[in-house]
């Protein structure tokens, strides 16, 4: 890289390899910082990334997060079972691991990542009385504490070799910062602060990167977790560790004996977390006090997102029935239906559109798939109460339809350009959704990403999930009417 300095490196990390990581981190932080964000919106973000979907399901099915062993087949269910902010921290861990440890990373990168997972686990557990949301915020901030160094060392730039040459074994953060300043023109600390602001990675991380005498408890926990990860390398019985135990005891209000037990158990938990993410190298670098077994691939039904998978369809339909009988809320059921159509049936873009109170317009409420990000604003249509109206015909026929197919010529003939303008396709699947015989909205699906042709497998799978959503609404209507 010809240019050096802060601006040059921020620009470098904002593009190419960093762009996927930055977009996911920023979107996850925006979503989870808002009280108005729903689980369905978080699921949408995850499901747009096939690799992230696969890894979230794999981790959600590990013993650590799913001790009952009951298979979790959908991201929607994972969020319900594990919790909103825990899923966020899992996603961020996955994306960081994926970005930093791709290819054949140097040992130093593994060391930083192992330390980050260990420190993050310690920091989260040190906050005994904090809310679950607060703990996950601390976990993420600690995990990203050395993000700048990790991104630089994994960038593939020519200066990286020089950085490694100047590094010494057991060099401190300050020493590595001085080396970075001389080689790439900016310290990791300054670069990290710039990335926090540019990518909106949160106030806790920013505060932790520039500590003061008046830090919040969250930032204190971050730095304490970091300290545990470093001091533990000198041994659990070292003088430095004994001094640190006293410090943590004061911070938590717990006895030194309880703190010692908690910190060592946290190291074991960190090793288990690394095992959950499938890296035996990371496991070996975390000073756990008991052996950790690598998790097998427990994820259910991980196949191509855009091909029909009848086995996965069946499992998701069974899970839907079970959740419906358990009385889960309709928002979660709707989202799971969409996920079943996307991952099980293999439909690339799926949307559930809902009528307004006056049943005059219908607009997108839930959606999944590439290219659906702006459908909440654009996917909005007027219900024309005329035989020539497309939606009027759809609800009159009252069944799932394949627009563009010769068996559905009458409905296809009423399709107007405003639909095509939003979706970009003339061939799609659509079905009316009703509750107590009253129109609620419609379910829409297509292969608009690849522009491949639909076939009977897609249509049959679509009909199965349409039947499920209508049955769910009928059950809910009966419960409310009783």
Question: What's the rounded Cα separation, in Å, for the pair 24 and 17?
Answer: 13
pLDDT tens digits, the chain, 482 residues: what are they?
556 899 999 888 877 555 567 667 777 766 665 555 567 778 888 888 877 888 889 888 887 788 877 888 899 888 888 888 788 888 888 888 888 887 778 888 999 999 999 999 999 999 988 888 789 889 999 999 999 999 999 888 889 999 999 988 778 889 999 999 999 999 999 999 999 888 878 899 999 999 888 899 999 999 999 999 999 999 999 999 999 999 999 999 999 999 999 999 999 999 988 888 878 889 999 999 888 766 554 444 444 446 788 898 998 988 888 877 777 677 888 888 999 999 999 999 999 999 998 888 999 999 998 888 889 899 999 998 888 889 999 999 999 999 999 999 999 999 999 999 999 999 999 999 988 778 899 999 999 989 999 999 999 999 999 998 888 887 766 666 54
CA distance 474 to 434: 8
So what's the pLDDT on residue 89? 84
Output b/e per residue, 167-188; b: 16+ Cβ within 10 A.
eeeeeeeeebbebbbebbbbbb
Residue 460 has a pLDDT of 95
Confirm if 365 and 353 have CB atoms less than 8 A apart: yes
Rounded-to-5 percentages of helix, strand, coil across the chain:
60, 10, 30
**Of how many residues is the chain composed?**
482
Residue 95 pLDDT: 84
Query: Taking the alpha carbons of 398, 403, 408, 410 in that order, is the dihedral positive or negative?
Result: positive
Strand blocks (E) in 411-456: 428-435, 438-446
Specify the pLDDT at position 176. Answer: 93
Nearest CA among 283, 242, 284 for reference residue 263: 242
What is the greatest pairwise CA distance in the chain? 84
3-state SS assignment for residue 434: strand
Tokens matching residue 456: 């009977």
The three-state secondary structure class of 431 is strand
Residue 371 structure tokens: 């290219």
Q: Write down the pLDDT at residue 432.
A: 94
Q: What's the gap between Cα 44 and its chain centre?
A: 9
Task: Measure the CA–CA gap between 452 and 455, rounded to whole angstroms.
Answer: 10
Backbone angles phi, psi at 42, to 5 degrees: -65, -40
CB atoms < 10 A from the CB of 373, how many?
A: 14
Domains of the chain as residue ranges with CATH: 6-285 (1.10.3210.10), 310-481 (3.30.450.40)
Three-state DSSP state, 325? helix
Q: Give the pair of three-digit tokens for residue 381.
A: 């249509």
For 339, the enclosing helix (H) or strand (E) is: helix 330-339
Give Cβ neighbours of residue 207 (< 8 Å, ≥ 6 apart).
215, 216, 218, 219
Rounded Cα distance, 1 and 132, in Å: 42
């Amino acid at each position: 890289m010809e240019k050096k300095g802060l601006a040059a490196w921020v620009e470098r990390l904002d593009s190419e390899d960093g762009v996927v990581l930055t977009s996911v981190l920023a979107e996850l932080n925006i979503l989870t910082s808002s009280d108005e964000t729903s689980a369905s919106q978080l699921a949408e973000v995850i499901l747009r990334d096939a690799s992230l979907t696969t890894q979230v399901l794999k981790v959600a099915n590990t013993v650590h997060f799913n001790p009952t062993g009951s298979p979790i087949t959908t991201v929607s269910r994972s969020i319900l079972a594990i919790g909103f902010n825990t899923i966020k921290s899992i996603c961020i861990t996955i994306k960081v691991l994926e970005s930093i440890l791709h290819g054949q990373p140097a040992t130093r990168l593994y060391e930083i990542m192992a330390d980050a997972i260990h420190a993050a686990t310690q920091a989260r557990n040190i906050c005994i009385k904090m809310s679950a949301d607060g703990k996950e915020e601390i976990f993420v901030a600690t995990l990203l504490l050395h993000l700048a160094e990790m991104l630089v060392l994994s960038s593939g730039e020519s200066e990286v070799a020089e950085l490694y040459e100047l590094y010494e074994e057991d060099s401190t953060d300050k020493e590595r910062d001085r080396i970075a300043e001389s080689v790439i023109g900016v310290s990791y600390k300054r670069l990290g602060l710039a990335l926090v602001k540019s990518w909106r990675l949160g106030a806790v991380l920013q505060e932790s990167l520039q500590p003061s005498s008046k830090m919040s408890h969250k930032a204190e926990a971050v730095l304490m977790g970091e300290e545990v990860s470093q001091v533990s390398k000198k041994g659990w019985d070292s003088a430095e560790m004994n001094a640190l135990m006293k410090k943590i005891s004061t911070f938590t209000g717990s006895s030194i004996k309880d703190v010692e037990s908690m910190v060592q158990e946290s190291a074991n938990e960190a090793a288990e977390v690394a095992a959950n993410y499938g890296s035996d190298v990371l496991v070996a670098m975390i000073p756990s006090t008991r052996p950790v077994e690598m998790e097998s691939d427990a994820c259910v039904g991980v196949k191509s997102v855009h091909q029909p998978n009848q086995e996965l369809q069946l499992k998701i339909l069974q899970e839907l029935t079970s959740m419906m009988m358990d009385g889960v809320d309709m928002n979660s059921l709707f989202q799971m239906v969409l996920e079943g159509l996307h991952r099980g049936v293999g439909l690339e873009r799926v949307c559930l559109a809902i009528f307004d109170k006056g049943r005059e317009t219908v607009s997108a409420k839930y959606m999944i798939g590439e290219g659906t990000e702006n459908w909440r604003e654009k996917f909005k249509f007027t219900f024309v109460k005329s035989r020539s109206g497309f939606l009027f015909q759809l609800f009159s026929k009252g069944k799932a339809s394949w627009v563009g197919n010769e068996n559905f010529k009458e409905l296809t003939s009423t399709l107007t350009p405003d639909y095509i303008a939003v979706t970009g396709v003339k061939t799609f699947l659509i079905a009316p959704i009703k509750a107590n015989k009253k129109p609620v909205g419609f379910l829409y699906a297509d292969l608009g990403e690849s522009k491949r042709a639909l076939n009977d497998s897609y249509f049959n799978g679509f009909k199965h999930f349409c039947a499920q959503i209508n049955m769910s609404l009928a059950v809910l209507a009966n419960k409310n009417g009783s």
